[in-house]
Amino acid sequence: MLAPKHPWVPESVWGEMQRRTKPRASTRLDIGNVVYGKQLKNSGDSDITEGLEEFIEKLSCMDPNYLILVDKTHPLDADFKPTDLVNLALYPEISRSRDGLYLEHTAAEALAKLSAAARKKGVTLLVSSAYRSYDYQKFLFDNHVKEIGEEETSRDIAKPGRSQHQLGTVVDFGDITKSFADTRAGKWMEKNGGKFGWSLSYPRYPPSEYMWESWHWRWIGADAVQLQDKFFDGSQYRMLLYLHENTTFPEF
C-alpha cells in the first residue's frame, strides 16, 4: 500500500477527510486535553512537554498502518490486506484454537513474546481469531444477519471493512465471551498486555462504538500504549480518533 499523504491518516480515508475538514492548528499540549476536555496538571511544566515530545518522536518512526483508525465511519478498502501475513503455527509459543490463523509479521512476533511471558507465569493465552479478510468478515456478518437480523448484528459484529481484524494486528482470546475477563488469562492480559504493546480495543470504560470485548486486543506498540494511558485515559479509540482528526501534529 502506498504511503498516506499524512503519516497518521490511512490513504483510504484521506480524500474524505480533506473534503470534510481542514487541518486544525494545534498546541503542544492539545494531545492531552482536546479529546476529553481535561487540562493537564502543571501545564507549564517542561517535564510534561518533554515527555510528550518523546512520545511523538517515537510514534513518528512507526509504520502508520499500526495506528490506522478503523471504525463505523472510517472503513478500510475491500482490497486492504497486510503485505506480510504469517501463519501463527510457525510460533510454538502461541496456543491456537484452530489452524489457519494469521497475523501481520510484527504483530505475530509481539504475540509470541507475549505468549512466552504468560507461559512463564503459568498462563496460557489461547488465540481464537486473528486476521480476517474483508470477504470473510462479510461472510460472518451476513450469516449473523440471517440468524438475528441486521440491527442486532451491528451491535456485536463489525460490518466488512469496519473490523480491526482486517488490519492483521488484532487477536481474540479464549472463548470470545465476556467471561474471558474473569479468567487467569484475562486478568493477566489486563495487567501485562500493555507492556508488550497490546491494547484492549473495546473496554468497558470508557465506552467505544462497540460493546465491551474483554477478549479483543490490538497490537499498537508499547510506546502507543503509554501515550494512550498517559494522555487519553487508557482509551485506544480516543487516541486514534485524535490522531486522525488532527491531521497536523503540534509544531515544537
CB 75 within 8 Å of CB 69: no
Query: Residue 206: what pLDDT?
Result: 66
Round to the nearest angstrom and report the end-to-end CA distance of the chain.
30
Q: HSE of 192 in the Cβ direction (CA atoms, 13 Å)?
A: 19
In this structure, the strands spanning 126-129 and 95-96 are parallel
Query: Residue 80: what pLDDT?
Result: 94
CB 131 within 8 Å of CB 214: no
Which range of 18-22, 114-118, 219-223 scores highest in mean pLDDT? It is 114-118
Global confidence as pTM: 0.78
Comparing 51-60, 115-124, 189-198, 201-210, which segment has the lowest mean pLDDT?
Answer: 51-60
Sequence-distant (≥ 6) Cβ neighbours of residue 238 within 8 angstroms:
35, 36, 206, 228, 232
**pLDDT for residue 205 is more than 90:** no
Which of the four pLDDT bands, split at 50, 70 and 90, describes residue 86? very high
Which of the four pLDDT bands, split at 50, 70 and 90, describes residue 12? very low
Residue of 179, 63, 76 lying closest to 128 (CA atoms): 179
Residue that wins the pLDDT comparison between 24 and 191? 191
Sequence-distant (≥ 6) Cβ neighbours of residue 9 within 8 angstroms:
17, 64, 244, 247
Which range of 44-58, 70-84, 238-252 scores highest in mean pLDDT? It is 70-84
171 C-beta neighbours (distance < 10 Å), count: 27
- Collapsing DSSP states into helix, strand and coil, what is residue 111? helix
In this structure, the strands spanning 198-200 and 216-219 are antiparallel
DSSP percent split of the chain into helix, strand, coil, nearest 5: 45, 10, 45
* Domains of the chain and CATH, by start: 85-227 (3.30.1380.10)
Q: How far apart are CA 223 and CA 190, in angstroms?
A: 17
Residue that wins the pLDDT comparison between 40 and 46? 46
Residues 87-103, mean pLDDT to the nearest whole number: 98
Buried b (16+ CB within 10 A) or exposed e, 95-131: bbeeeebbbbebbbebbbebbebbeeeebebbbbbbb
**pLDDT for residue 8 is more than 90:** no
Condensed to tens digits (0 to 9), the pLDDT of residues 155-185 reads 678 899 999 999 999 999 999 999 999 999 9
Comparing 29-38, 62-71, 116-125, 222-231, which segment has the lowest mean pLDDT?
Answer: 29-38
Residue that wins the pLDDT comparison between 46 and 42? 46
User: In which element (H, E) is residue 171 found?
Assistant: strand 170-173
**pLDDT for residue 195 is more than 60:** yes
